[in-house]
Amino acid sequence: MKKEIVILANSLKNQARCVAGKCTSTKQWIRPVGDAQGKALTNSQITVKNWKGQIWQLKTLQKAEISFSAHAPLVNQPENYLIDGSQWLDKFRIQTRELLSFLDYPNDLWGNGDRVNFYLIQFKKIINNSLYLIHVNDLRLYTQYNKRRGTFIYNHTSYNFACTDPNFDNILQNRSHIDIKSAILCISLGEPWNGDCYKLIAAIYLL
């Protein structure tokens, strides 16, 4: 099956890449993965080829036509689709302002706090999706003990999540923190770690 998706996250994951985006026609979330267990992708797997035959690394806001062999949902990541190994095709880019038409509007981000207990996900089925694209206010990006984090307000609730966006350091530009009044974030629920699935800022878009 082929789907055209706009790439909304291309974050770091154990020296590999966690890619996710939305179908341009249905606005459905899709996370391309390397196997049925949700394996992250290598740099060579996330290249795109344009109509001239040129090939380069995938970037966020890029539209790509990707072929999948199967839907491979996990209980904590139901949006997973297994790539079939064929070359991804470039379908041009969108502008940051166009993200407004792809926003999600959940009441909250899987409850309060920065993690969800995996037992609750596994046995109580409380997760219908593991990705959100949201507009937030009062975003602060900062480093603490060499960890990249961000605090923000969404729907009158304060959150503090780890950040896996590879552009984090470019945004900070050697500062200890930066305050941003308004931004769009891609929020992702990570894999189980010590019994919890952590909530992550996978991509940051400044308005």
Are 73 and 129 in a shared domain?
A: no
Burial category of 165 from C-beta neighbours within 10 Å (exposed 0-12, middle 13-18, buried 19 and up): buried
Are 63 and 125 in a shared domain?
A: no
pLDDT higher than 90, residue 52: no
CA–CA dist 20, 94 (Å, integer): 15
Are 83 and 10 in a shared domain?
A: yes
Domain end: 75, 99, 123, which one? 99
pLDDT higher than 90, residue 61: yes
What token pair was written down for 17?
A: 């890449």
Domain end: 73, 99, 125, which one? 99
Are 15 and 109 in a shared domain?
A: no
Tell me which residue range forms the domain holding 121: 100-206
**Are the C-beta atoms of residues 34 and 40 closer than 8 Å to each other?**
yes
Distances (CA, A) of 171 to 108, 142, 165: 26, 10, 10
Contacts of 179 (CB under 8 A, 6+ apart): 138, 139, 140
Could you tell me the pTM of the whole model?
A: 0.93
Number of domains present in the structure of the chain: 2
8-20: per-residue pLDDT in tens?
999 877 778 899 9
DSSP 106: -
Quote the pLDDT of residue 145: 87
* Average pLDDT, integer, range 43-51: 90
Considering all CA atoms of the chain, what is the largest pairwise distance in Å, rounded to the nearest integer?
50
164-58-131-119 Cα dihedral, nearest 10 degrees: -60
Quote the pLDDT of residue 14: 72
Distances (CA, A) of 91 to 5, 48, 55, 135: 9, 9, 13, 25
123-151: per-residue pLDDT in tens?
876 778 999 999 999 999 999 888 999 99
pLDDT higher than 90, residue 198: yes
Are 127 and 199 in a shared domain?
A: yes
Are 151 and 192 in a shared domain?
A: yes
The lowest-confidence range among 19-23, 52-56, 84-88, 103-107 is 52-56
CA–CA dist 60, 99 (Å, integer): 11
CA–CA dist 160, 199 (Å, integer): 9
* Selection from 62, 72, 71, 125 nearest residue 98 by Cα: 62
70-103: per-residue pLDDT in tens?
999 999 999 999 999 999 999 999 999 999 999 9
